[in-house]
Amino acid sequence: MPSPELAVAQAPSRPTRPRRHLPVLAYPLIGMLLVCVVMSFANADFLSVANLLNIVRQVSINGVIAVGMTYVILSGGIDLSVGSILALSGTLTAGLLLAGMSPVLAVAAGLASGVAVGVLNGVLVAYMGMPSIIVTLATMGIARGLALLYTGGYPIDGLPDGFGLLGRGKLLGVPYPVWLMLVVFALAWVLLARTPFGRYVHAIGGNEDATRLSGVRVKRNKLMVYAISGLTAAIAGLVLASRLMSGQPSAGVSFELDAIAAVVIGGTPITGGRGSVIGTLIGALTLGVLNNGLNMMGISPYLQIVIRGVIILFAIYVGRERIRRG
Amino acid sequence: MNPLLRLQGISKGFPGVQALSRMDFALDTGQIHALTGENGAGKSTLMKILSGVYRPDEGSILIDGKEQHFDGYRDASAAGIATIFQEFSLIPDLDAAENIFLGRELTRGGLLQRSAMRRRAAALFERLGYPVPLNRPVGRLSVAQQQFVEIAKALSIEARILVLDEPTATLTPDETRHLFKVMRELRQTGVAMVFISHHMEEIFEIADTITVLRDGRKIGTVATTAIDMPSLVEMMVGRSLESSFPPLKPPAPDAALVLDVQAIQLERQAPVNRLQVRAGEILGFAGVVGSGRSELALGLIGELPTTRKDVRFDGRAVRLTDPADALIQGIGMLPENRKADGLVLGASVRDNVSLNNLDKYRRWRWLIDGSKELAATLSSLTQARIKTSSPYTAVGTLSGGNQQKVVIARWLQHRCRLLIFDEPTRGIDVGAKAEIYQLIRQLAEAGNAVILISSELPEIVGLSHRVAVFDHGAITATLEGAAIHPNQIMLHATGAHHAVS
């Protein structure tokens, strides 16, 4: 076998990396900018620093959940349990704090509860071969039920003041949740775009059989994907509990739909195989801008739901896979 | 007089590739016209233009001298062109009659006339002389039966032009013979057929006229009686091929055993008690489709469950319960169906080649070293002679031969001690075939062990040091030396040896 250097010299021309990220992300980006332009014309205060910070803070919870959702959808699955996991981790941490547990341990327990549900999802999907939509529909109920059982159905209030820092603190004028979201996105991007695991997630979503037959441990990697989704949902649960200073068993209902919407608007097809967390960030921001702008314009919340649905349909229409076969 | 179908100056380009350049083509009533050429020559593109899937960039399609504009498959079939794609377009859960009349159901008062449709379907199959059960979803029919459902469907719309894309690729010799019989009968009734194929013997058996494409251009159209096989191959590849099978270098007499299977037992298969491959040796697995060759290989690498498995590899006992275990040991397998099981079609060439090699390009322990990966990928592309505009091109846009070479490149990089090739040249043109044979030989000469599963006898005979013949899930014979002969293999593969002995 020729040495790599030699082979490079023989190759007709060293290929330049194509601008393949550009077209993928261009549509979501243009879409977001378009929404921003419309909103800034409709409302003079839209572009104020305070409002923009407000938007990214509001986006941070859905954004963090959508990171895990991106992994799951990329791998060809779906995770409906994230909203319930958010409630479970939030209430568990709140309850343990109230019981006097050290904050570090209580936070760790909250995160662990999310990972545990994620691992359960992963075992059932990857090792038992059950369809993800059914598995996570069931665990959505289970996690929500556990949160309700644990709290008896009532919010857990009266948390120690220090806990509020996570959701309410600021660094350089930017709220902690925003920093946290950026860190989560950065780590998720590196993991997805620069590690073998990330490549496997794409490959599994593209063709699971071929990936397995080539010798990749598909089950293990799929398990990881669901565990990550559980973890990011739990992180979001802690942020929300901290911001509300309360563990709410009914928090996060239908958050899974927002997360899926962010992923899809961000250009990841629901069938998986290709996409990126950057797109998801754009998708989450687009949804946030839309919420914020429509609220400022005083548009009826009912109508807002309709508009959001139309935007999602439009995003799918623009991003739909063009069938090209040679 | 106008021919039935005429294409004039058809061109079609895709980003980076000119798939067809000013192509002319004519088809007469009652003619079987073979369309051949290496993969990537433009056959598929031409077929998709004929079937209305693609629109040509320029040029015109004339039927009976009248210009046609197809916008989709429906237009083409309305104009009398029916296409039978390699991947069938049948609904697996519907029965044959429901498939044939899909979208054109016979109704009375809004209700389906099931019995009338069945009667008509039965009549069509009678005309074809091929019995297809009507009371069963087509997904449970054999490949040949499904193909005849497609043909019946084409007849039911009274197609005058039938385009058949590699129709024999998945048929047994018997089924192929029957297909040809039906094609000849259709020719009698005036149906014109475009027969897309790589198989020289088949083209010479069935076609009246042959058109050869190369690199998107028409090289020529000749009457079958006016040309012989070597000249046709030369037209296809643009050079005369030396024999694809020069004499094999035998493995060293003291070559070590690489694979030593003491026992392996799969569900619904006979136990295999001894299977050995030595370093530098190519062991052929011969047999008809469904004889258990692929299953044994898949059981070996841990993809299919086995009830008993006692395998020694490089002298050590190994447990293989997942293809990933096999990979760690240095056993690789190239699956039979490269699109379904071999490639991530939407991913790039680079991602596909390095899919199971990523552990070799680490940086800072966790990250992929991109430049190392690219260098290794480029070296594999050169080694396997893959033609692609860039390593970032999606694999799905490459021709079949190049796709297969991408799968091979993946394993070349891995330097496996044992490589299992399952039908490595299916649906691949002559030129790419020769290159793949060359790669297999090189692997063996470098001291690796190779198992070659193939339904093409010349391939098995020309490339194997030893041949294990399969029939109904059991190895019925292991042939060596002069005994490796097509007749011997067929004897053991078809159960005929029982009749003889």
What confidence tens digit (pLDDT) does each residue in B192-201 have?
A: 999 998 777 7
- From B141, B182, B134, select the one nearest B162 (Cα to Cα): B182
| pLDDT tens, residue by residue, B29-62 | 999 999 988 766 788 889 899 989 899 999 999 9
Q: Is residue B390 scored above 80 in pLDDT?
A: yes
Q: Which residues pair with B152 in a beta bridge?
A: none
Please name the member of B345, B372, B392 whose beta carbon is closest to the beta carbon of A207: B345
Kindly report each contact of residues B230-237 with a partner whose C-beta sits within 8 Å and lies 24 or more positions away, as own/partner: B232/B36, B232/B200, B232/B203, B233/B200, B233/B430, B236/B36, B236/B37, B236/B38, B236/B41, B236/B212, B236/B429, B236/B430, B236/B431, B237/B38, B237/B430, B237/B431
Instruction: With respect to residue A135, please indicate whether it lies within any of the assigned structural domains.
Output: yes
Residue B71 and residue B215 share a domain = yes
The total number of structural domains that make up chain A: 1
Domain CATH for B44: 3.40.50.300
Residue B192 and residue B83 share a domain = yes
What rounded mean pLDDT belongs to chain B?
86
Shortest CA gap B100–chain A (Å): 25
Shortest CA gap A14–chain B (Å): 9
Contacts of A267 in chain B (CB under 8 A): none
Residue B59 and residue B206 share a domain = yes
| pLDDT tens, residue by residue, A111-140 | 999 999 999 999 999 999 999 999 999 999
What are A274's two structure tokens?
């290709």
Position A324 confidence tier, pLDDT thresholds 50, 70, 90: very low
What are A287's two structure tokens?
């949804």
Cα nearest neighbour of B14 on chain A: A326
- Type of residue numbered B50: L
- The predicted model gives B318-338 an average pLDDT of 91
Cα nearest neighbour of B377 on chain A: A4
Shortest CA gap B256–chain A (Å): 22
Indicate yes or no: CB of B367 within 8 angstroms of CB of A15: no
Please name the member of B333, B344, B379 whose beta carbon is closest to the beta carbon of A4: B379
Contacts of B398 in chain A (CB under 8 A): 326
Residue B229 and residue B249 share a domain = no
Cα nearest neighbour of B328 on chain A: A215
Q: Which residues of A touch B (CB under 8 A)?
A: 1-8, 10-11, 14-15, 17-18, 20, 190, 194-196, 199-200, 202-203, 206-207, 209-217, 273-274, 324-326
Residue B322 and residue B360 share a domain = no
Higher pLDDT, B435 or A149: A149
Q: Is residue A13 scored above 60 in pLDDT?
A: no
pLDDT confidence of residue A201: 96
Instruction: With respect to residue A84, please indicate whether it lies within any of the assigned structural domains.
Output: yes
Kindly report each contact of residues B478-487 with a partner whose C-beta sits within 8 Å and lies 24 or more positions away, as own/partner: B484/B284, B484/B460, B485/B461, B486/B457, B486/B458, B486/B461
Instruction: With respect to residue B442, please indicate whether it lies within any of the assigned structural domains.
Output: no
Indicate the SS3 state at residue B260. strand
Pick the last residue of a domain from B189, B204, B237. Answer: B237
Q: Beta strands of B215-320 (E only): which ranges? A: 217-223, 257-266, 275-278, 282-286, 306-313, 316-318
| Distance separating alpha carbons of residues B49 and B213, to the nearest angstrom | 15
Indicate the SS3 state at residue B7. strand
How many Cβ atoms are within 10 Å of B382's Cβ, its own excluded?
18
- From B83, B69, B77, B63, select the one nearest B6 (Cα to Cα): B63
Shortest CA gap A189–chain B (Å): 12
Instruction: With respect to residue B287, please indicate whether it lies within any of the assigned structural domains.
Output: yes
Residue B456 and residue B404 share a domain = no
| Distance separating alpha carbons of residues B414 and A131, to the nearest angstrom | 33
Q: Which residues pair with B217 in a beta bridge?
A: B214
Higher pLDDT, A90 or B111: A90
What are A27's two structure tokens?
């549509």
Contacts of A199 in chain B (CB under 8 A): 351, 354-355, 358, 368
Cα nearest neighbour of B329 on chain A: A215
pLDDT confidence of residue B434: 86
Shortest CA gap A210–chain B (Å): 4
Contacts of B327 in chain A (CB under 8 A): 214-215
Instruction: With respect to residue B335, please indicate whether it lies within any of the assigned structural domains.
Output: no
Contacts of B357 in chain A (CB under 8 A): none
Q: Is residue A79 scored above 80 in pLDDT?
A: yes
What are the start-end ranges of the H helices in chain A?
Answer: 4-10, 21-42, 49-74, 82-98, 103-122, 132-151, 164-168, 176-194, 196-206, 208-213, 218-244, 255-265, 277-296, 301-319
Instruction: With respect to residue B187, please indicate whether it lies within any of the assigned structural domains.
Output: yes
Residue B187 and residue B95 share a domain = yes
pLDDT confidence of residue B40: 67
Q: Which residues contact B99 (CB under 8 A, 6 or more apart)?
A: B90, B91, B138, B149, B153
pLDDT confidence of residue B200: 77
| Distance separating alpha carbons of residues B241 and B234, to the nearest angstrom | 7
Q: What are phi and psi of A154, to 5 degrees?
A: -105, 150
Contacts of B396 in chain A (CB under 8 A): 324-326
ipTM score over 0.95, yes or no: no
Q: Within 13 Å of residue A232, how many CA atoms lie on the same side as its CB? A: 32
| Distance separating alpha carbons of residues B380 and B360, to the nearest angstrom | 14
Task: Please report where in the chains the tokens 């039938």 appear, as a residue.
Answer: B162
Contacts of A11 in chain B (CB under 8 A): 378, 381-382
Indicate yes or no: CB of A213 within 8 angstroms of CB of B346: no
Instruction: With respect to residue A281, please indicate whether it lies within any of the assigned structural domains.
Output: yes
Q: Find the distance separating the first CA and the last CA of chain A, reported in whole Å.
A: 31
What are B318's two structure tokens?
């190994």
Q: Is residue B499 scored above 70 in pLDDT?
A: no
Q: Is residue B387 scored above 90 in pLDDT?
A: no
Position A10 confidence tier, pLDDT thresholds 50, 70, 90: very low
Q: What is the DSSP letter of A322?
A: P
- The predicted model gives B132-155 an average pLDDT of 86
- The predicted model gives B459-466 an average pLDDT of 90
pLDDT confidence of residue A19: 46
What rounded mean pLDDT belongs to chain A?
88
Contacts of A216 in chain B (CB under 8 A): 324, 355-356
Position A9 confidence tier, pLDDT thresholds 50, 70, 90: very low
Cα nearest neighbour of A1 on chain B: B383
Contacts of B379 in chain A (CB under 8 A): 1-4, 6-8
Taking CA atoms, A113 is separated from A48, A136, B494, in Å, by 39, 15, 60
Indicate yes or no: CB of A8 within 8 angstroms of CB of B379: yes
Residue B258 and residue B227 share a domain = no
Indicate yes or no: CB of A8 within 8 angstroms of CB of B378: yes
Contact B330, B417 (CB under 8 A): yes
Instruction: With respect to residue B443, please indicate whether it lies within any of the assigned structural domains.
Output: no
Domain CATH for A275: 1.10.3470
| Distance separating alpha carbons of residues A58 and A92, to the nearest angstrom | 23
Q: Beta strands of B224-292 (E only): which ranges? A: 257-266, 275-278, 282-286
Instruction: With respect to residue A206, please indicate whether it lies within any of the assigned structural domains.
Output: yes
Instruction: With respect to residue A12, please indicate whether it lies within any of the assigned structural domains.
Output: no
Please name the member of B44, B344, B368 whose beta carbon is closest to the beta carbon of A203: B344
The H or E element that residue B153 is part of is: helix B143-156
Kindly report each contact of residues A311-318 with a partner whose C-beta sits within 8 Å and lies 24 or more positions away, as own/partner: A311/A265, A311/A286, A312/A261, A312/A264, A312/A265, A315/A27, A315/A28, A315/A31, A315/A264, A315/A265, A315/A283, A316/A264, A316/A270, A318/A27, A318/A31
**CA atoms A202, A206, A209, A215: torsion sign:** negative
Indicate the SS3 state at residue A289. helix
pLDDT confidence of residue B364: 86
Position A89 confidence tier, pLDDT thresholds 50, 70, 90: very high
Q: Which domain holds residue A260?
A: 24-33+43-318
Q: Within 13 Å of residue A313, how many CA atoms lie on the same side as its CB? A: 6
- The predicted model gives B378-401 an average pLDDT of 87
Residue B172 and residue B50 share a domain = yes
| Distance separating alpha carbons of residues B297 and B320, to the nearest angstrom | 12
Taking CA atoms, A29 is separated from A22, A267, A282, B8, in Å, by 10, 10, 6, 44
Residue B171 and residue B35 share a domain = yes
Contacts of A188 in chain B (CB under 8 A): none
Contacts of A23 in chain B (CB under 8 A): none
Counting one residue from A and one from B, how many pairs have CB atoms under 8 Å apart? Answer: 123
| Distance separating alpha carbons of residues A237 and A140, to the nearest angstrom | 14
Q: Which residues contact A144 (CB under 8 A, 6 or more apart)?
A: A83, A84, A87, A88, A249
Shortest CA gap B324–chain A (Å): 4
Instruction: With respect to residue A326, please indicate whether it lies within any of the assigned structural domains.
Output: no
Instruction: With respect to residue B336, please indicate whether it lies within any of the assigned structural domains.
Output: no
Taking CA atoms, B433 is separated from B179, B384, B424, B425, in Å, by 25, 12, 8, 6
Contact A82, A68 (CB under 8 A): yes
- Type of residue numbered B415: R
Q: Which domain holds residue B322?
A: 243-330+419-432+449-501
Residue B307 and residue B386 share a domain = no
pLDDT confidence of residue A319: 67
- The predicted model gives A236-264 an average pLDDT of 94
pLDDT confidence of residue A125: 97
pLDDT confidence of residue B22: 92
Instruction: With respect to residue B440, please indicate whether it lies within any of the assigned structural domains.
Output: no
Instruction: With respect to residue B444, please indicate whether it lies within any of the assigned structural domains.
Output: no
Cα nearest neighbour of A20 on chain B: B392
Residue B218 and residue B71 share a domain = yes
Contact B356, B410 (CB under 8 A): yes
Please name the member of A4, A216, A326 whose beta carbon is closest to the beta carbon of B399: A326
Q: Which stretch of A17-21, B344-348, B352-356 has the lowest confidence by average pLDDT?
A: A17-21
Q: Which of A5, A74, A192, A213 to mutate to test the interface with B (most CBs of B within 10 A)?
A: A213
| pLDDT tens, residue by residue, B60-106 | 999 998 998 988 888 888 899 998 887 778 888 888 998 888 888 88
- The predicted model gives B164-186 an average pLDDT of 84
Indicate the SS3 state at residue A174. strand
- The predicted model gives A270-299 an average pLDDT of 91
- Type of residue numbered A124: L
| Distance separating alpha carbons of residues B278 and B253, to the nearest angstrom | 10
Cα A112 from chain centroid (whole Å): 18
Instruction: With respect to residue A10, please indicate whether it lies within any of the assigned structural domains.
Output: no
Q: Is residue A7 scored above 70 in pLDDT?
A: no
Write b or e for each residue in B328-367: b if 16 or more Cβ atoms lie within 10 A of its Cβ, otherwise e: ebbbbbbbbebbebbbbbbbbbbbbbbbbbbeebeeeeeb
The total number of structural domains that make up chain B: 3
Indicate yes or no: CB of A326 within 8 angstroms of CB of B19: yes
pLDDT confidence of residue B239: 57
Q: Which of A8, A16, A189, A214 to mutate to test the interface with B (most CBs of B within 10 A)?
A: A214
| Distance separating alpha carbons of residues B55 and B354, to the nearest angstrom | 35
Indicate yes or no: CB of B398 within 8 angstroms of CB of A274: no
Instruction: With respect to residue A292, please indicate whether it lies within any of the assigned structural domains.
Output: yes
Q: Which of B47, B344, B351, B386 to mutate to test the interface with A (most CBs of A within 10 A)?
A: B344
